[in-house]
Amino acid sequence: MPLIEWKDDMSVGIDEFDSHHKRLIQLINKLNDSIMSGDSYTVSSEVLAEVANYTLYHFFAEEEAMRKYSYPEYDSHRKEHIDLTEKTLGLLQESYNSKESIGPEVLAFLKEWLRHHILETDKQYSPFLNARGLF
Ligand SMILES: [Fe+2]
Ligand SMILES: [Fe+2]
């Protein structure tokens, strides 16, 4: 059973970003499977690194679109991206240092963050970017 499931109400009305979010959900579910099946820290932290890499790629794409159209909430949106990136890289570092498996609290954090960020923060750019021709 996946940890997070994509639902239509998560759509931000822009195809590219919806598909990024779907991929992120897929990767977080993959991390969940890895942790639940008792994979070693090496395997799980590799999946966490995949989550981190893809997150960076996605944030960059969103930020580029927001900058291009001078989205007024750019700074506060970017701040959320930076906070998550730092937290995720910190977790990754910790797992490498301690050689301990990534715990379920990491998943709970990622799941909650993603839900909050997509449903609240990302969705705020939808009307603004849609009005500028981005769908
Ligand atoms: Fe975002
Ligand atoms: Fe996003």
Residue 87, Cβ density class (10 Å: 0-12 exposed, 13-18 middle, ≥19 buried): middle
Instruction: Give the SS3 label for residue 33.
Output: helix
pLDDT tens by residue, 33-83:
998 888 888 888 899 899 999 999 999 999 999 999 999 999 999 999 999
**Please, which residues have CB less than 5 A from ligand 2, an ion?**
122
**Residue 30 within any structural domain of the chain:** no
**Residue 31 within any structural domain of the chain:** no
**Please, which residues have CB less than 5 A from ligand 1, an ion?**
62, 122
pLDDT of residue 101: 76
Which domain, by its residues, includes 70? 47-135
**Residue 115 within any structural domain of the chain:** yes
**Residue 32 within any structural domain of the chain:** no
If you measure from the C-alpha of residue 32 to the centroid of ligand 1, how many angstroms do you get, rounded to a whole number? Answer: 22
**Residue 106 within any structural domain of the chain:** yes
If you measure from the C-alpha of residue 99 to the centroid of ligand 2, how many angstroms do you get, rounded to a whole number? Answer: 30
pLDDT band at 95; cut points 50, 70, 90: confident
If you measure from the C-alpha of residue 7 to the centroid of ligand 2, how many angstroms do you get, rounded to a whole number? Answer: 15
| Residues constituting the chain | 135
pLDDT of residue 82: 97
CATH of the domain at 113: 1.20.120.50
**Residue 28 within any structural domain of the chain:** no
**Residue 26 within any structural domain of the chain:** no
Give, as one character, the DSSP assignment of residue 13: S
Q: What percent of the chain has pLDDT over 90?
A: 71
How many distinct structural domains can be found in the chain? 1
Q: What percent of the chain has pLDDT over 70?
A: 100
